[in-house]
Amino acid sequence: MIFHHLGKYILLLQASFKKPEKFKVYWSEIMREMVSIGIGSLGIVCIISVFIGGVSTVQTAFQLVSNLIPRSIIGGITRDSAILEFSPTITSLVLAGRVGSSIASQIGTMRVTEQIDALEIMGVNAPGYLILPKIIGGVTMFPLLIILSICLSLFGGYIAGSASGAVSSNDFIIGLTTDFNPLFARIALIKALVFAFIITSVSAYQGYYTSGGALEVGQASTRGVVMSCIIILCADYLIAQLML
Amino acid sequence: MIEIKDINKSFGDKQVLKGISAVFNQGMSNLIIGGSGSGKTTLLKCIVGLHEPEKGEVLYSNQNFTAMDFEQRIPIRKEIGMLFQNSALFDSMTVEENIIFPLNLFTEMSLSEKRDRANYCLDKVNLKNTNKLFPSELSGGMKKRVGIARAITMQPKYLFCDEPNSGLDPKTSIVIDELIKDITEENNITTVVVTHDMNSVMGIGDNILFLHNGEKWWQGSNKEIAHTDNPELNSFVFASKFMQAAKEKL
């Protein structure tokens, strides 16, 4: 069963990456998807990032009770955990819900209302027209969203640390700027690219092979989100294992 | 002209189409009729390539469509226009964008030429000044007419309509039927209509193919259908009291 789905998924991706009928039409679709995924996700990314950073700082400070450990380490831990894990992974899991369900339900609705059939009748490569712009929109906007998320996490940590008195602003900034490993940033961006591809392609796959009606579209949307989340977590482990 | 030869199609264990052969002539409204579940829509989808038949051939002007791959089919697909049962208009696009969509992809026309073409098609279906409306703002009959306008925008040689009258009131159904007939005769195209609407059968049925349980049971014109002695066809055609009364007067 798993190989059946894997085969169909690979064939769908193969069809999606065929040469576009007309680049200009695809370009406007790519722009539309970039706005939808990038600008449309800004609000939720900002909110979760600030809170992730704040909570991370407060909880790290709570556990560092020894006077032998400098308080500035809290800034360092917040930075590394935000860059390595919280921003790329948690943001992607949340975006799997927002972006993934939107893609699966949009394509699924097009399938059950025969809009995809209409594209095929016209001679349009439907997977290419519908899925490729979403994948490109995702892999271009996710890294930017993750960079923004990292910045806002650090900002959230700074505010929470200062406001709660857990760490002084000076100590936090010293922690942030000490012993930074650029590899962590590279890993974060690689995660962003991989997770974006997973969310857009897996959700599109679930939507594309929907059959039935409104109930099945809802089920496809749920499956898209659940599958994306599971695969993201597996990919997260693999990337960590391979790159650290 | 479209010719189908020995079309067979199954879904799982259920054989939906059993060796159907027919010819659909140019310049005529060719109707595929039959009861629910008789295989009409499946046959239409086999003809346009949305389903692949297990056996048999579909020939468009003697070109074997069934034997072609996706790329080889594109030139023929550009000559096909199709009206879907639920119109299948793209929700995210306005009426005008729906109509010029195939022009955007397959022609080098300028924007003003494409708009002129969209206005011409909308004029044909009596839907002027609806260019900027979205499908959600249209009634069922208007959606069907926009569907027809989109189907004819590329000046197709073949027009397919899947139950164009479903969900419409009798008056609007007749308007849609007449529109299909006019377009067919005016442009000398091959039109294939799937329907179980008897008004359409009697009104525009130049060539009628009757399916029963996935088999071809009868083929003829609307002039012949009232006088057939085929029991299954008779029970289908004269199912309503109105048609029974009409038969008695014939």
Residue A1 has pLDDT above 90, yes or no: no
CATH no. for B2-79+157-249: 3.40.50.300
Using a CB-CB distance cutoff of 8 angstroms, which residues of chain B are in contact with residue A125?
70
DSSP string, A60-74: HHHH---TTS-TTHH
Listed in order, the ranges of chain B carrying CATH 3.40.50.300 are: 2-79+157-249
Q: Is residue A17 part of a domain?
A: no
Q: How far is A31 from chain B (nearest CA, A)?
A: 15
Residue B247 has pLDDT above 80, yes or no: no
Mean of the per-residue pLDDT values of chain B: 90
CB contact under 8 A, A117 and B85: no
Residue B31 has pLDDT above 90, yes or no: yes
Q: How far is A121 from chain B (nearest CA, A)?
A: 6
Strands B158-162 and B190-194: parallel
Percent above pLDDT 70 for chain A: 100
Does the beta carbon of B102 lie under 8 angstroms from any beta carbon of chain A? yes
CB contact under 8 A, A123 and B73: yes
CA separation for the pair A203, A223 (Å, rounded): 8
Tokens of B76: 């023929």
Q: How far is B246 from chain A (nearest CA, A)?
A: 37
pLDDT confidence of residue A163: 94
Beta pairing partners, B20 = B7
For the stretch B68-99, pLDDT in tens is 988 899 899 999 999 998 889 999 999 999 99
Select from B50, B73, B106 the Cβ nearest to the Cβ of A117.
Answer: B50
Beta pairing partners, B7 = B20
What confidence category does residue B199 fall into, taking pLDDT thresholds of 50, 70 and 90? Answer: confident
Q: How far is A197 from chain B (nearest CA, A)?
A: 24
Which of A29, A122, A125, A130 has the highest number of chain B CBs within 10 A, making it the mutation to test binding with B? A122
Nearest CA in chain B to A18: B71
CB contact under 8 A, B106 and A115: no
Collapsing DSSP states into helix, strand and coil, what is residue B10?
Answer: strand
Residue B157 has pLDDT above 80, yes or no: yes
Which residues, 6+ apart, have CB-to-CB distance to A186 below 8 Å? A243
Angle between helices A214-243 and A101-112 (to 10 degrees): 140
Using a CB-CB distance cutoff of 8 angstroms, which residues of chain B are in contact with residue A117?
50, 84, 88
Sign of the CA dihedral with A220 first, then A223, A229, and A235 last: negative
Residue B62 has pLDDT above 70, yes or no: yes
Q: Is residue A11 part of a domain?
A: no
For the stretch B160-193, pLDDT in tens is 999 888 878 888 888 888 989 999 999 899 999 9
pLDDT confidence of residue B198: 85
Does the beta carbon of B82 lie under 8 angstroms from any beta carbon of chain A? yes
Residue B140 has pLDDT above 90, yes or no: no
Please give the residue range of the domain that contains residue A139: 22-243
How large is the ipTM? 0.87
Q: Is residue A99 part of a domain?
A: yes
Using a CB-CB distance cutoff of 8 angstroms, which residues of chain B are in contact with residue A110?
90
Which contiguous run of DSSP H or E holds residue A207? helix A182-208
pLDDT confidence of residue A30: 96
Nearest CA in chain A to B77: A123
Residue A51 has pLDDT above 90, yes or no: yes
pLDDT confidence of residue B158: 94
Q: Is residue A35 part of a domain?
A: yes
CB contact under 8 A, B77 and A25: no
Q: Is residue A135 part of a domain?
A: yes
> How many structural domains is chain A composed of?
1
Lowest mean pLDDT among A46-50, A73-77, B28-32, B234-238: B234-238
CB B209 within 8 A of CB B33: yes
Q: Is residue A2 part of a domain?
A: no
Mean of the per-residue pLDDT values of chain A: 94
Chain A, residues 96-125, CB within 8 A of chain B, namely 109-110, 113-115, 117-118, 120-125
Which of A123-137, B28-42, B206-220, B223-237 has the largest mean confidence? A123-137
For the stretch B202-227, pLDDT in tens is 888 889 999 999 999 899 888 888 77
Collapsing DSSP states into helix, strand and coil, what is residue A152?
Answer: helix
What confidence category does residue B250 fall into, taking pLDDT thresholds of 50, 70 and 90? Answer: low
For the stretch B108-131, pLDDT in tens is 999 999 999 999 999 888 888 899
Q: Is residue A177 part of a domain?
A: yes
Q: Is residue A4 part of a domain?
A: no
pLDDT confidence of residue B228: 81
Give strand ranges (E) for B35-185. 55-60, 63-64, 80-83, 158-162
Does the beta carbon of B134 lie under 8 angstroms from any beta carbon of chain A? no
Using a CB-CB distance cutoff of 8 angstroms, which residues of chain A are in contact with residue B82?
118, 121
Residue B243 has pLDDT above 80, yes or no: no
Tokens of B205: 């049925």
- Average pLDDT of span A138-161: 96
pLDDT confidence of residue B249: 67
- Average pLDDT of span A48-60: 95
